[in-house]
Structure 1
Amino acid sequence: MLSQTELICRLLLAAVLGSLIGFERERMSWAAGLRTHMLVSVGSALIMIVSSFGFADILDNPHVILDPSRVAAQVVSGIGFLGAGSILLRGEVIRGLTTAASLWSVAAVGLAIGGGLYVAAISATLIILFILAGLKPLEKWYFESRQRYKLHLIVDEGSMTIHALELALGLGSSRIKKFVVRQGENEPDTDEVLISFARLSEREFSSVRLQIERIKGVRRIEDNTAHD
């Protein structure tokens, strides 16, 4: 059976490790932030402690068999409801999968602390933090290093919509990174349209540009810029 000091230390360590991961999510302004991750980690640690040591007084009974892994398995599957709550549908884009995964991971960290696997828990926390914070700049650099093109269009007022653009481009519409329409400042009855494309080759962009020029209502393309 654990001593009271050991029990408290495990719960505190679970809270600390959970807070490290939660702080990174809090910094990104996600719903599941610092306190949520701490609670998941501490709760998972406590459940593991209860599962492993909470029934010590009845283990001498020959008809009782204790399997701590059963409770741990329920934590791993049950944490899904919190993960689902952190996933948001914004327009047609799903956001929050990484935060859901971090909640699932921090539950595993709590279980490891509850089971006394300190090295594994601390190592996992460092790896998770590297994945969440350390890899993000590399990921951003990788995608920004791919060619990105922008178009500035002058079109008839109300003629350019995202639906019309998608119809004209077909599969190419999946490369649209940004689409902004604003009222024309220099010409009456016109709109200015800013379109940004990601992960296009120069040949693909030329084809996309021609397709856009053919859309009804497009008066001209003011400029286009490419980033390598």
Structure 2
Amino acid sequence: MSINPELWQISNFDLTIRIILALLLGGLIGLEREWNNHAAGFRTHILVCVGSASIMLLSIYGFSAFVYEANVRTDPARLAAQVISGIGFLGAGAILRTGPTVSGLTTAASIWVVAAIGLSVGAGFYYAAILVTGLVLISLFLLNKWEKHMMWHRRTQEITLRIVDRPGSLGNIATLLGNHSIQIKNIHMEHEQGLMFSEDENIIKIRLTLQLLSADKLVDALDELTRLETVLAVDSGHISGSGKSGKGRAAFQKGKGINKAG
């Protein structure tokens, strides 16, 4: 079986072009993640893409000296396969769970795709790498906005309130939420053991499952809830999709006295 020596050789110029292209393509995707303040951003995506391209180049061209040995069989895809499976530890580190909300899945997927782009560039599969990069950017920028616009009416958000058990307290909360086009889908109430607001007023903990049209409407509603006299504390966990700076998580407790019973 004849061996083509040029197949296993690459010039320094071509190698440099591939590494720089991997840097640019990975950086474009990382820039979108950085812009939206995600855990894995600009530098992380560059490192993943450049590293993947380097490993692909090593897998194809790094062992060219052994190609002509009689008992050696080369497999250019072997190291690439390890990159695809091994990159998972970075993706797992980007996924966070806060109560019922899971975040970071898109960032984890973008890291995995960037690794594939780096492998494609390293193998000289330029058209596929550039095409995938363009599609990923369209998905992250345009489809993200479309998803938020189209799917918010199907999403729910859970919030926890601590309120003074007075007549009309829950009705005032429901009215306020309704004014912001927020619908209560489920409600769970329990008394706070050992805590009282006064001698004849108990404190109750309420968990509300809400259906809403906009994260910003929920943030505004929570701001108004904290100003109600009977609301002592509000905790919304993580509000995904909120465009208001610093209000992705709403947690507030008033400075009113809480008495321990007994």
Using the size of structure 1 for normalisation, the TM-score is 0.71
- Please list the CA deviations of residues 34-56 of structure 1 after superposition, one character each: whole Å capped at 9, or x if unmatched: 00000000000000000000011
Question: Runs of 4 or more off by more than 3 Å in structure 1?
Answer: 144-148, 150-154, 173-181
Instruction: Name 1:5's counterpart in structure 2.
Output: 13
Instruction: Name 2:123's counterpart in structure 1.
Output: 115
Distance 2:66 2:152 in 1: 60
Normalized per residue, the structure richer in helix is: 1
SS in 1 for 2:203: coil
SS in 1 for 2:124: coil
Distance 2:153 2:54 in 1: 45
User: Shift in Å at residue 63 of structure 1?
Assistant: 0.6
* Aligned-pair Cα RMSD in Å: 3.2
User: Shift in Å at residue 80 of structure 1?
Assistant: 0.3
Q: Identify which of 74, 77, 90 aligns with 2:98.
A: 90
Q: Quick check: 2:154–2:211 contact (8 Å CA) kept in 1? A: no
Q: Does 1:152 align with 2:175?
A: yes
- Please list the CA deviations of residues 188-224 of structure 1 after superposition, one character each: whole Å capped at 9, or x if unmatched: xx23899x9xxxxxxxxxxxxxxxxxxxxxxxxxxxx
Determine which structure has greater relative contact order: mean sequence separation of CA pairs < 8 Å that are 6+ residues apart, divided by chain length. Answer: 1
Q: Does 1:184 align with 2:235?
A: no
Change (3 A) 1:146 1:91: closer
Change (3 A) 1:134 1:142: same
Q: Identify which of 10, 13, 17 aligns with 2:25.
A: 17
Distance 2:60 2:118 in 1: 13
Distance 1:8 1:157 in 2: 71
Q: Quick check: 1:86–1:96 contact (8 Å CA) kept in 2? A: yes
Distance 1:143 1:157 in 2: 39
Q: Percent identity?
A: 45
Change (3 A) 1:29 1:112: same
User: Shift in Å at residue 91 of structure 1?
Assistant: 2.7
The unaligned stretches of length 5 or more in structure 1 are 166-172, 197-228
Greater Cα offset, 17-26 or 133-142: 133-142
Aligned length in residues: 183
The unaligned stretches of length 5 or more in structure 2 are 1-8, 157-172, 178-200, 237-262
- Please list the CA deviations of residues 158-183 of structure 1 after superposition, one character each: whole Å capped at 9, or x if unmatched: 33421xx4xxxxxxx37478584525
User: Shift in Å at residue 151 of structure 1?
Assistant: 3.5
